[in-house]
């Protein structure tokens, strides 16, 4: 059969454009190849080669298609990050409230934290609410952006603004969690150890996990954005 690899060649060209992201490349390969095979099967033409050519031509230019997949994937990750940031901030809030409730039940006096602790409380409060505001702002901002068909300069600028909001939310949350750790240490210092004392430590572990998870998620999106930008510049240079 002449040119038996026409679809395979097209898919290979398309996935080469996505080499910087192996997982996306594999996903696109499966999706596009399945679509093209289905298009050929549905074509009433008796000439299979001609049906493959039509399917490939109708699908479009590999670079343009790759750009659409890349930007859609980047937008999906950014929105997932924004939702995750709000969820993690809320989880930190729940852990904080649980710890404060435990202090009230166990009758831990606030006088234990001293003047230094009072300063840390203020830092904690302002940092946490800054994380809340910037986290929600990031969610609303990226959620209202239209996803373009390519990585346009406008969308790059929007992603930079979104990154600033995410960095602000992450930094503020880290400050809040560190402050909580300091306050927990001051509250528990000098108290007799008991199994119940593990509760504030457990809530602190939850807060630390949330902050670490947010940092990792932000790093992943930053890497994806950088890789996408590099790939786009290479294509433009060609």
pLDDT of residue 220: 85
Residues 48 and 105 in one domain: no
∠206-170-79 over CA atoms, to 5°? Answer: 95
Residues 108 and 195 in one domain: yes
**Confidence class for position 3, pLDDT limits 50, 70, 90:** very low
The whole model's pTM is what? Answer: 0.78
**Distances in whole angstroms, Cα of residue 135 to Cα of each of 8, 160, 191:** 44, 15, 36
**Distances in whole angstroms, Cα of residue 203 to Cα of each of 100, 118, 139, 152:** 10, 21, 26, 43
In a domain, 205, yes or no: yes
In a domain, 67, yes or no: no
pLDDT of residue 109: 64
Instruction: Tell whether the model's pLDDT for residue 21 goes beyond 80.
Output: no
Helix, coil or strand: residue 201: helix
Residues 88 and 51 in one domain: no
Residues 56 and 79 in one domain: no
Instruction: Tell whether the model's pLDDT for residue 216 goes beyond 90.
Output: yes
Residues 50 and 96 in one domain: no
Residues 43 and 157 in one domain: no
pLDDT of residue 1: 36
In a domain, 198, yes or no: yes
Instruction: Tell whether the model's pLDDT for residue 235 goes beyond 60.
Output: no
Most confident of 49-58, 142-151, 154-163, 225-234: 154-163
pLDDT digits (tens, 9 = 90+) for 33-75: 888 888 888 877 667 788 888 888 888 787 778 777 888 888 8
Residues 26 and 96 in one domain: no
Residues 80 and 35 in one domain: no
Instruction: Tell whether the model's pLDDT for residue 14 goes beyond 90.
Output: no
In a domain, 215, yes or no: yes
Residues 80 and 143 in one domain: yes
In a domain, 1, yes or no: no
**Confidence class for position 10, pLDDT limits 50, 70, 90:** confident
In a domain, 69, yes or no: no
Number of separate domains in the chain = 2
**Confidence class for position 4, pLDDT limits 50, 70, 90:** low
| Residue 29 token pair | 């390969």
Domain region containing 50: 6-60
**Confidence class for position 175, pLDDT limits 50, 70, 90:** very high
In a domain, 201, yes or no: yes
Torsion of CA 59, 63, 66, 71, to 10 degrees: -120
pLDDT of residue 123: 95
Q: Cite the DSSP H helix spans in 2-113.
A: 6-16, 22-42, 48-59, 62-105
**Confidence class for position 122, pLDDT limits 50, 70, 90:** very high
Residues 47 and 81 in one domain: no
Residues 117 and 52 in one domain: no
Share of the chain above pLDDT 70, in %: 88
pLDDT of residue 166: 94
Q: Which residue has the higher pLDDT, 29 or 169?
A: 169
pLDDT digits (tens, 9 = 90+) for 64-112: 787 778 888 888 889 999 999 999 999 999 999 999 888 888 776 666 6
In a domain, 65, yes or no: no
């Amino acid at each position: 059969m002449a040119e038996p690899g026409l679809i395979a060649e097209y898919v290979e060209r398309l996935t080469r454009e996505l080499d910087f992201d192996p997982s996306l490349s594999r996903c696109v390969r499966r999706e596009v190849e399945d679509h093209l095979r289905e298009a050929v099967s549905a074509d009433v033409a008796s000439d299979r080669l001609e049906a493959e050519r039509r399917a490939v031509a109708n699908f479009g230019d590999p670079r343009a298609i790759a750009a659409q997949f890349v930007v859609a994937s980047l937008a999906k990750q950014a929105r997932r990050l924004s939702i995750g940031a709000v969820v993690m901030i809320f989880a930190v809030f729940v852990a904080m409230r649980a710890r404060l409730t435990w202090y009230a039940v166990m009758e831990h006096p606030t006088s234990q934290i001293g003047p230094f602790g009072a300063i840390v409380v203020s830092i904690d409060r302002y940092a946490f609410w800054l994380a809340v505001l910037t986290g929600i702002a990031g969610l609303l901002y990226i959620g209202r952006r239209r996803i373009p068909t390519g990585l346009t300069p406008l969308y790059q600028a929007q992603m930079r603004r979104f990154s600033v909001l995410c960095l602000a939310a992450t930094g503020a949350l880290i400050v809040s969690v560190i402050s909580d750790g300091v306050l927990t240490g001051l509250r528990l210092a000098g108290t007799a150890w008991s199994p119940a004392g593990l509760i504030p430590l457990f809530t602190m572990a939850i807060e630390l996990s949330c902050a670490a998870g947010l940092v990792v998620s932000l790093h992943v999106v930053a890497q994806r954005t950088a890789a996408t930008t590099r790939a786009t510049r290479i294509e433009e240079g060609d």
